[in-house]
Amino acid sequence: MVVDGSKLVRKLIGDTLRRSVERVEVVSCGSIAEARDALAEAPVNLVTTALVLPDGDGVALARSVRDAAGQAYVPVIVVSGSAQSHLESRQFTEDVTDYFDKALGHEALAAFILGYVQPEAIPDARVLYVEDSKVVALATKRMLERHGVKVMHFIGVEEALEYLEAQRGDEDPGADLVLTDVYLKGELSGMDLLQRLREDFRYGKRRLPVLVMTGDDNKDNQSKLLRQGANDLVLKPIEERLLITKTLFQLRLARLPEQAAMDAS
């Protein structure tokens, strides 16, 4: 289901999905009322919605999806040019599964949605993973490896920085993505690692994406992580499909040509 007040935007997203996703059926709706009527007729497998709609907003639409009779719990993705600011201010409710910045373009959106409905492994993808809990690390490592990701596990930020320092100055930073818990037992935290990567190493969000895992539901703390340069957050307890979708999307986005990633048309 694609929900947007603009018929043109609905067509653009729908056409992109039909080109990219096999056997997809796109249900196009221009408002929350239309979406409710469509949900009453038949359930859907995934919903994208604009943040601003003629009769409400994307958060209200997400609530309608959750309340629809006979509708299983499915991903609800807010697609908006101001999604990042809403994420940083933590204005999305738990009814919203994920968000997408429309400035990345419709091809990137299609890749993002594919991550939910048809995740595909990325050959040779390497994730530098920092986690000091053996139980959590083992479970998360297995999730990633089931999808073809090579995981380099470090128990602390100090060890991870030592590895990255050895790669400094090379074209290859030594990993394709960093996944770190925010709270660690060592002297340095996940926030410290994030700050070092962005400020000291000068690695941008596409050069070395960073996903931060956190069980902290404090919106101010979450916002700070995003403002400091985290590409996205993975909230605990970790749901495998969401972790894999976020990981593979950031890896795929980092490999897109710069123009393709930023072309919104």
pLDDT band at 260 (very low <50, low <70, confident <90, very high): very low
Question: What is the percentage of the chain residues whose pLDDT exceeds 90?
Answer: 49
Q: Is the pLDDT of residue 85 over 50?
A: yes
Give the mean pLDDT of 88-103. Answer: 77
pLDDT band at 263 (very low <50, low <70, confident <90, very high): very low
Please spell the DSSP secondary structure of 7-62, one letter per residue.
HHHHHHHHHHHHHHSTT----EESSHHHHHHHHHH---S-EEEESEETTEEHHHHH
Q: How many CB atoms lie within 10 A of CB 48?
A: 25
Q: Which helix (H) or strand (E) holds 193?
A: helix 190-195
The reported pTM is 0.69
CATH number of this structure's domain 126-262, picked from the four choices 2.170.120.20, 3.40.190.10, 3.40.50.2300, 3.40.50.10490: 3.40.50.2300
Q: Which residues touch 153 (CB under 8 Å, ≥6 apart)?
A: 129, 130, 131, 137, 141
Please tell me if the domain spanning 2-117 has the same topology as the one spanning 126-262. Answer: yes
Rg of the chain taking only CA atoms, in angstroms? 19
Q: Is the pLDDT of residue 221 over 90?
A: no
> Which ranges of 200-239 does DSSP label H, i.e. alpha helix?
219-227
User: Which has the closest alpha carbon to 32: 82, 95, 86?
Assistant: 95
Cα angle for residues 89, 95, 97 (degrees, 5° grid): 75
Structure tokens at 178: 């960093």
Instruction: Give the model confidence (pLDDT) of 24-44 as tens digits.
Output: 899 999 999 999 999 999 999
**pLDDT in the model for residue 262:** 40
Instruction: Give the model confidence (pLDDT) of 136-179 as tens digits.
Output: 999 999 999 998 999 999 999 999 999 999 999 899 999 999 99
CATH code, 2-117: 3.40.50.2300
Query: Which has the higher per-residue pLDDT, 94 or 180?
Result: 180
**pLDDT in the model for residue 264:** 33
What CA–CA distance (Å, rounded) separates 67 from 104? Answer: 30
Hey, where are the domains in the chain? 2-117, 126-262
